[in-house]
């Protein structure tokens, strides 16, 4: 599961320190100060969206000067990506060696992350911002790539062990696995029904199932890598 820091559940330790009379203490330069700014960044993004996500707003929420914030983060895009990266770590890669079970575990963890706030609201704001800010789009790509890595590693290991064909396009396979989850949450705005993760994994692994003896004309007319004849389909990833 991922490391999760809820933007809306700051503890007493996460509140901005003040002197008697309510005056805020100046922010320092250590890790605790950095954590305060990152936490403040998520709070501002959650409340105001990207249009209201400014260095001034974050600095004010964290009890820091804008100069202090800029000293560590040269732009609001860099601050936003680091805040998201710190709060929502990539999912841990399962290492059971069972392809179906490992993929299912990753899908269930993804459902859990997308099914509770504040992550969906924050991610929606980041996606929207990446469409408007070219510099953020590149940073968002790097952020996303790190979160695709656990799925990529599981599939690569399966290919190396001969469980799936070594010719499988791993990036497309990742898209097929995680795409439905994000579509259902952010486009269709529908809840995940029971067994959804299992169904997605079953369908994708069925599409990946190939036999070495299958001739090339057995593939779909569209030229896809995954389609095969119904008579030669075999389920993969399970004992």
Domain that residue 32 falls in? 12-86
Lowest mean pLDDT among 148-157, 187-196, 212-221: 212-221
Structure token digits, residue 22: 């309510």
Residues 185 and 128 in one domain: yes
- CB burial readout 114-129, b (16+ within 10 A) else e: beeebbeebbebbbeb
Decide if pLDDT at 8 tops 70. no
pLDDT value, residue 236: 54
One domain for residues 124 and 188? yes
The verdict on residue 188 lying in a domain is yes
Residue 46 sits in a domain of what CATH number? 1.10.357.10
Mean pLDDT of 69-83: 90
Question: Which of the listed residues 55, 86, 117 is the one where a domain comes to its end?
Answer: 86
* Same domain, yes or no: 116 and 189: yes
Please check whether residues 109 and 223 belong to one and the same domain.
Answer: yes
pLDDT surpasses 80 at 191: yes
Q: Are 56 and 33 in contact (CB under 8 A)?
A: no
What percentage of the chain has pLDDT greater than the value 90? 46
If asked whether residues 167 and 207 sit together in one domain, one would say yes
Same domain, 74 and 103: no
Q: What whole-number distance in Å separates Cα of residue 118 and Cα of residue 110?
A: 14
Mean pLDDT score across all residues of the chain: 79
Q: What is the pLDDT at residue 189?
A: 92
Using 50, 70 and 90 to split pLDDT, how confident is the model at 238?
low
- What pTM did the predictor assign? 0.70
Tell me whether residue 168 is in a domain.
yes
Mean pLDDT along residues 176-192 = 94
196-208 helix and 170-182 helix, angle to the nearest 10 degrees: 160
- Domain end marker among 28, 56, 86: 86
Q: Do both 164 and 48 map to the same domain?
A: no
Q: Going along the chain, which residue ranges are E strands?
A: none
How far is the CA of 216 from the CAs of 167, 169, 175, 207, in angstroms?
13, 16, 23, 15
Q: Is residue 5 part of a domain?
A: no
Query: 72 and 164: one domain?
Result: no
Cα 49 from Cα 90, distance rounded (Å): 23
Return the pLDDT at 235.
46
Q: Is residue 237 part of a domain?
A: no
- pLDDT score at 29: 57
Structural contact between residues 73 and 79, judged by C-beta atoms closer than 8 angstroms: yes
Confidence of residue 150 (pLDDT cuts 50, 70, 90): very high
Task: Please say whether the beta carbons of 178 and 110 come within 8 A.
Answer: yes
Are residue 100 and residue 66 in the same domain, yes or no?
no
Same domain? 115 vs 224: yes
**More confident site: 136 or 59:** 59
Q: Is the pLDDT of residue 210 over 60?
A: no
Any idea which of 19-23, 25-29, 77-81, 123-127 has the lowest mean pLDDT? 19-23
Q: Establish if 70 belongs to a structural domain.
A: yes
Q: Residues, the chain, total?
A: 239
Residue 48 lies in a domain: yes
pLDDT bin (cut points 50, 70, 90) of residue 93 is very high
CA trace torsion 97, 103, 109, 110 (10° rounding): 150
- Specify if 238 maps to a domain: no
Identify whether the C-beta of residue 37 lies closer than 8 Å to the C-beta of residue 58.
yes
CA distance 219 to 168: 13
Does 7 map to a domain?
Answer: no
Total domain count, the chain: 2
- The pair of structure tokens assigned to 118 is 């504040």
Give the pLDDT of residue 195. Answer: 95
Please indicate, yes or no, whether residues 128 and 177 belong to a single structural domain of this protein: yes
Of 86, 121, 148, which residue sits at a domain end?
86
Confidence class of residue 97 from pLDDT cuts 50, 70 and 90?
confident
Q: Are residues 116 and 66 in the same domain?
A: no
């Amino acid at each position: 599961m991922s490391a999760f820091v809820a933007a809306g559940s700051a503890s007493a330790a996460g509140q901005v320190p003040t002197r008697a009379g309510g005056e805020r203490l100046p922010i320092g330069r250590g890790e605790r100060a950095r954590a305060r700014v990152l936490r403040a960044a998520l709070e501002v993004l959650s409340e105001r969206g990207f249009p209201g996500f400014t260095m001034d707003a974050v600095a004010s929420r964290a009890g820091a000067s804008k100069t202090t914030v800029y000293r560590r983060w040269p732009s609001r895009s860099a601050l936003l990506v680091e805040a998201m990266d710190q709060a929502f770590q990539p999912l841990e890669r399962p290492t059971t060696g069972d392809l179906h079970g490992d993929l299912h575990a990753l899908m269930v963890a993804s459902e859990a992350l997308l099914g509770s706030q504040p992550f969906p609201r924050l991610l929606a704001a980041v996606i929207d911002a990446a469409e408007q800010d070219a510099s953020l789009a590149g940073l968002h790509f790097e952020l996303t790539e790190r979160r695709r890595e656990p799925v990529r590693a599981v599939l690569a290991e399966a290919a190396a062990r001969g469980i799936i064909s070594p010719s499988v396009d791993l990036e497309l396979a990742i898209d097929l696995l995680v795409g439905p989850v994000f579509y259902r949450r952010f486009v269709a705005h529908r809840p995940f029904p029971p067994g959804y993760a299992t169904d997605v994994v079953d369908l994708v692994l069925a599409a990946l199932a190939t036999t070495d003896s299958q001739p090339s004309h057995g593939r779909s007319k569209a030229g896809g890598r995954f389609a095969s004849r119904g008579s030669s389909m075999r389920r993969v990833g399970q004992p």
